[in-house]
Amino acid sequence: MRKLKVLDLFAGGGGFSTGFLQAKEENLRFEIHRALEINDSACDTLRNHIGKERVIQGDITEDTVKSEVINSCIDVDVIIGGPPCQTFSLAGPARSGSKEMREKLKDDPRNTLYKHFFELVSIIRPSYVVFENVEGMLSKKSDDSNLLKAKQSQVIELVCDELESIGYTTRIEESLTERFQVVNAADFGVPQQRRRIIIIANRLGIDNPRLLSNVKKRRDVKNAIGKLPVRLPKISTNRLEKLKNIDVILKNYSYSLEVFAKDLGKLAENYFEQNESLLILSDTIENDVQSIKHIKSNKVDHLKDFLKRYNSLVFELGINDKDSSDKLISHQSREHNFRDIIIFMLTKEGSNSSRFMNRQSDDYNKFLDDLYPYARNKHKDTYVKHSWNKPSNTILAHMEKDGLKFIHPDQPRTFTPYEAQLLQSFPKDYAFYGGRNAQYRQIGNAVPPLLGKVIGEAILKLEAVNDVKEEKKMVNS
C-alpha cells in the first residue's frame, strides 16, 4: 500500500484531512504528514485526530514556523488548504480594471496569508496542490453555481496564475479554459448547501480531474440529525424586564404562554417513544400555564418564576444533559431568551423572519412582526428555521455568536455543535476540543469531510493513471 504524504495548511478542526484519510483508490491512500494551525482549540482537536507529533501549531507568517514546516515537509506529495476568506475580500466594487486590481491585490498587506501559502508551495513543490475558498459563494445572488461576478473571477484567476507561475497545471479535463471549479457540497453527499471554489493543480503536466456529483438524491436534515435525542434549552431569566420587545410578550401574556405550552405538548407527542420525560414536562408546564396565564399584575415576576420552574424540570429530567455516550457530549443546547423561544416556536418550518414580517407572504404573522427585535433597514432574515426534508443552509462559524440562522426544524432552539458537526458530514465519533463557541468556529470553518474525500479520490485516481503511464515508459525504455 503506497501512501501520499499530505501537508494541511490552515487545517482548522481537520475537515479536509478527515476527508483525505477517507479517500481510497486501489493500492493508494493518503497520510496526513503534517497539519499547520494557529488556534489552540483547533490544534487540540487535530492532535486527537492525527497525533500530536503531526501537528505544527503556529503562525504561518513567522520564519521559525515556516522553517519547521519546510524542514519536516520537504518530501510531501500534496498540499491542501486555503487562506481564511478575509484574504480575498478586496474584490469589492471600488476595485476596477483587471491589471490594476491584480497588482493591488498582490501588494496589499492583508494578503500576507495568501502569499505565505504560495511561498510554501513554491519551496516544497509537491506533486499536487488543492486550494479551497469561499469567495463568491456566500454573497452571490445567482442560482447558477457555475457563474461568478467578473471581479470575483479575476481574484480566482489570480490564484491560478500564481500556481502556474511556479510550475503547476490548473487546467481542468475536457476544457480549454476552465481552471477552477465551483461546487456545492450538497451534490457530494453533504446534508448542507455549501458552495465553494476548488482549485486542483498538479506538477505532472496533465489535466486535473473535474469533480462530478456522486449522489442521485441530496441528503436532508432529517437524514443527518433526525434520530438524535431531544434537547431543550435553558431559558434565561436574568434582566427579563429589560429584554427588547418584552412589552409585546406582556401585552400578549396569555397567548405567549399558551404558545409555549402547546409547542411542548406537540414535542412530547412527536418524541414520546424516544423520551417519556417530555410528557412529564409538558403536563407540568400546561398546569402552570393555566394557573398564571390570566395574571394581571407583576407579569414579569410570574414569568420569571414560571421559567425557573421550566429550567429546573429540564435539568431534573435530563432533557438538555450530557449523554452517557462520549460521542454526544457536545449535543447540548445553548441558553436562549424567552422572546427568541417564542419566535422559534411560531416560525414555520422552512421559513424565516423576512417572510413572517412580509405582509405579502403566506408566512406573515402579525405577532412575530411586532416581536422582531432587530433593525429592519439592514437585513430581515435574522431568524431562519430549517426544514427536515432539505439540506441545511451553509453551516457558518458565526454560529458561535447566536445561531439564530440555524433554528432546529421542530425543537425550540438552535443547532447544537454535534448537529452542526453531522450537517458538515464529520464522523459521528469525531471529537472537537474547546468550549461550545470554539467548537462552532472549527465546524463552521471546516471543509466538509465528504467533499474532501471526493477531492482526495480524484487525486488518487489521477495518481494511479500517472503510475500506469510511468510503468509503460519504463517498460518501453
Q: In sequence order, which ranges of 168-241 are alpha helices (DSSP H)?
A: 221-225
Structure-block grid coordinates of residue 473 = 515508459
Task: Tell which residue, 7, 11, 13, 73, has the closest CA to residue 430.
Answer: 13
Residue-wise DSSP of 239-269: TGGGSTTHHHHHHTHHHHHHHHHHHHHHHHH
Query: How far, in Å, CA of 248 to CA of 367, rounded?
Result: 8
- In angstroms, the CA 324 to CA 328 distance is 8
Cβ contacts of 427 within 8 Å, gap of 6 or more: 18, 449
325: β partners: none
DSSP string, 264-281: HHHHHHHTTTT-THHHHH
Query: Hey, what's the cell of 162?
Result: 500564481
Distance from C-alpha of 289 to C-alpha of 291, rounded to nearest angstrom: 5
Could you tell me the CA-to-CA distances from 179 to 40, 131, 305 in Å, in that order?
A: 35, 12, 62
Identify the helix (H) or strand (E) that includes residue 182.
Answer: strand 181-184
CB 246 within 8 A of CB 300: yes
Catalytic residue among 43, 73, 85, 160: 85
- Those residues whose C-beta lies under 8 Å from the C-beta of residue 421, and which sit 6 or more positions away, are 330, 430, 432, 439, 443
Percent helix, strand, coil in the chain, to 5, is: 45, 10, 40
Contact 356, 369 (CB under 8 A): yes
Q: Of 102, 337, 113, nearest to 243 (Cα)?
A: 337
Q: Is 85 marked active-site?
A: yes
Question: What contacts 167, CB < 8 A, 6 or more positions away?
Answer: 125, 203
Classify burial at 362, counting beta carbons within 10 Å of its beta carbon; exposed 0-12, middle 13-18, buried 19 or more. Answer: exposed
Which residues have C-beta within 8 Å of that of residue 376, sequence separation ≥ 6? 357
Distance CA 109, CA 115 (A): 10
Report the C-alpha gap between 182 and 195 in whole angstroms: 7
Distance set, CA 93 to CA 138, 139, 144 (Å): 16, 13, 21
Q: Please tell me whether residue 195 adopts helix, strand or coil conformation.
A: strand
Locus of grid cell 435530563: 318
Catalytic residues: 85
